[in-house]
Amino acid sequence: MVAVDLGGTRMKCGLVAADGAVVHRETRATPREAGGRAVLDALVDTVVELGQKAAADGHRVRAAGVVVPGIIDAHQGTVSAENLLWVNTPVLAELQAAVGPDQQVTLAHDVRAGGYAEVRVGALRGTTNSLFLPLGTGIAAAMVVDGSLVSGDGYAGELGHTRFVQGEAAELCACGQRGCLETVASAAALARRYGARTGEVVDGAREVLELLAAGDPDAAAVWDEALTALVDALVLYTTLVAPTRIAIGGGLVGAGETLLAPLREGVHERLTFQREPEIVAAELGEEAGCLGAAFMAWDVAAGPAHD
């Protein structure tokens, strides 16, 4: 399979064998500054060239999986993604036309693809009701419900854009709503909120975590706000969808038990009648999206899934 994880700054690309082995890796720049049309052209070129490389190396390309950070309309094959300057862009049709009928192209949401990979070979292996929640620049969720990854026609899983901050403290989110989880608990939010609180510019969430470890009270304050909202979100998700395991991913999970222990404790204290989920770190890191793209493309090419 050709697999491409298209982000706002980079395309992580690979050739993946049927057994999940990554036989080739490369990274290309996403020409976002040149506009949405240029991003799509670069994506199409990348998928075509990776297929040519595979053929030249003597492999048969069965399918191409492309994951994107945006809303995929499953019926239309169009993508809307602020990061890529796409609005209802006909990505699937252009990709499929470029690679021809021998390679079936599958489009998937980056986080859902990552969740799919975690279920197949990562921290959620063996689960039928679970959640993959990467805390990165943004926050979205991959929901596994009754054995299937939830799509909701491409719209489901926006736990990051659910209100978990109330009243005066609720900031306006990029999505247009107020008080979204993403405004306090994403890696980007931690850095931004620490900066707003102290007037000091920090170099990302990693620096906030270092300050936290060093006992900085402002770092502790923004961290506590993030944890409070995250516990709310996990309790809500547990009440509504009853996962047995929750895998936290993204940059923030680099904090390890500093993040996971208070989440476990907070959720445990709040639950009453609900089934308590395990809360663990995701296992596949940055490669999850690309692996998920390959697995999804493989499954689509191999025919409909069976229960």
Query: According to the binding rule CB under 8 A, does residue 83 interact with a copy of itself?
Result: no
Q: Which stretch binds a copy of itself (CB under 8 A): 32-40, 98-106, 148-156, 215-223?
A: 148-156
Query: According to the binding rule CB under 8 A, does residue 175 interact with a copy of itself?
Result: yes
Q: How many residues bind to a copy of itself according to rule CB under 8 A?
A: 43
Q: Which value, to the nearest 10 degrees, does the dihedral of the CA atoms of residues 224, 268, 135, 219 take?
A: 10
Q: Which stretch binds a copy of itself (CB under 8 A): 1-9, 43-51, 138-146, 197-205?
A: 138-146
| Min separation Cβ 186 and a copy of itself, Å | 16
Which residues lie closer than 8 Å to 170 by C-beta, 6 or more apart?
163, 178, 179, 183
| Min separation Cβ 236 and a copy of itself, Å | 5
Q: Which stretch binds a copy of itself (CB under 8 A): 32-40, 51-59, 251-259, 266-274?
A: 266-274
Which residues lie closer than 8 Å to 97 by C-beta, 6 or more apart?
none
> Which residue, 44 or 150, is less far from a copy of itself as judged by CB?
150
Rounded to 5 degrees, φ, ψ at 261 are: -60, -50
How far is it, in rounded angstroms, from Cα 201 to Cα 66?
35
Whose CA is closest to 54, among 20, 98, 93, 17? Answer: 17
Query: According to the binding rule CB under 8 A, does residue 228 interact with a copy of itself?
Result: no
Q: Which stretch binds a copy of itself (CB under 8 A): 8-16, 43-51, 237-245, 292-300?
A: 237-245
Query: According to the binding rule CB under 8 A, does residue 88 interact with a copy of itself?
Result: no
How far is it, in rounded angstroms, from Cα 234 to Cα 181?
11
Name the DSSP letter for residue 283.
S
